[in-house]
């Protein structure tokens, strides 16, 4: 039973199509509902996963999806075309483009191809009007440059998913009108500097997510993450902004609805 005063939240980024959830997906969704998680965006990271992630969204009312190729996968796969992204985005429950971006921590050798892929995803975001979902790791300078260059060429919406980069990249993204998403990393005891970056950002540009099955917040750290645990990260976020959990939940949900307008407008009817 959900308490009447329980904060209602959105998990803006998870991976429900990953094998980690194959055995108990319905139980995971039930726990999310019991924790007040009313909607989830499951992110497809490879073309081969599109049918599965789309099918999960079709089968479960609270689940939406986004489509793209993860930057760590572009070296081993053909680049997705703008047309392919736009075609996938025609589905009424597809609410974002990505995740895309740059990851020089593990896959710096494919930097040029990652940058090309990122620009293709940005063009698809422009054409569809859906927000871009960005993964950034150890690529702050190139990321800030490309996002700004492309924004000057034509505006688009964007969220810096699982933000854990520098204050400089946060400022660059916020200056473009983009959003920063708070994951379980922000709840780790060692993440004081990251929490300070979030605290300096406008509340109206903050989202929350799990990135499940990864990055579970305390007290679940080291275990499989799942959408219900976004409530733990949101509790930390509330403290960062000096708000009650209900106030922070309401603010981040309103932010989600503003950025992910198709999800906000969707009705099963």
CA-derived radius of gyration, the chain: 17
Domain regions of the chain by residue span = 9-265
Q: Is 60 annotated as a binding residue?
A: no
Determine if residue 13 is labeled as part of a ligand binding site: yes
Phi, psi for residue 238 in degrees, rounded to 5: -60, -40
Residue 61 in marked binding region: no
% of residues, the chain, pLDDT over 90: 96
Per-residue confidence band for 4, with pLDDT thresholds at 50, 70 and 90: low
pLDDT tens digits for range 56-87: 999 999 999 999 999 999 999 999 999 999 99
8 A C-beta contact, residue 208 and residue 41 = no
For residues 129 and 139, give the distance between their C-alpha atoms in angstroms, rounded to a whole number. Answer: 26
Q: How many CB atoms lie within 10 A of CB 221?
A: 15
76 is in an annotated binding site: no
Residue 121 assigned ligand-binding role: no
Report whether CATH 1.20.120.1200 matches the domain 9-265: no
pLDDT-based confidence at residue 268 (cuts at 50, 70, 90): confident
pLDDT tier for residue 96 given thresholds of 50, 70 and 90 = very high
Alpha carbon distance 86, 83 (integer Å): 5
Task: Assess contact for 138 and 104: CB atoms under 8 A.
Answer: yes
Predicted confidence (pLDDT) at residue 3 exceeds the cutoff of 80: no
């Amino acid at each position: 039973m959900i308490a009447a005063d329980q904060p209602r939240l959105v998990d803006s980024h998870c991976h429900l199509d990953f094998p980690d959830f194959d055995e108990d997906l319905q139980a995971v969704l039930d726990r999310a509902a019991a924790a007040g998680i009313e909607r989830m965006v499951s992110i497809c990271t490879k073309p081969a996963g599109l049918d599965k992630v789309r099918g999960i969204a079709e089968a479960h009312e609270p689940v939406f999806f986004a489509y793209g190729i993860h930057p760590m996968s572009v070296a081993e796969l053909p680049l997705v075309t703008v047309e392919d992204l736009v075609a996938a985005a025609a589905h009424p429950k597809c609410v974002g483009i990505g995740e895309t971006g740059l990851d020089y921590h593990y896959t710096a050798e494919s930097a040029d191809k990652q940058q090309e892929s990122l620009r293709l995803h940005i063009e698809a975001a422009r054409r569809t009007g859906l927000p871009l979902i960005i993964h950034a790791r150890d690529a702050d300078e190139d990321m800030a440059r490309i996002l700004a260059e492309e924004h000057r060429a034509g505006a688009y919406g964007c969220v810096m998913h699982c933000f854990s980069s520098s204050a400089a990249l946060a400022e660059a993204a916020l200056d473009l009108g983009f959003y920063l998403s708070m994951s379980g990393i922000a709840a780790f005891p060692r993440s004081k500097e990251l929490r300070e970056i979030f605290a300096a950002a406008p509340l109206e540009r903050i989202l929350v997510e799990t990135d499940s099955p990864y990055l579970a917040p305390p007290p679940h750290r080291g275990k499989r993450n799942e959408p219900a645990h976004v409530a733990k990260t949101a509790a930390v976020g509330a403290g960062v902004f000096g708000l009650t959990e209900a106030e922070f939940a309401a603010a981040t949900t309103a932010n989600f609805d503003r950025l992910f307008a198709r999800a906000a407008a969707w009705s099963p009817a």
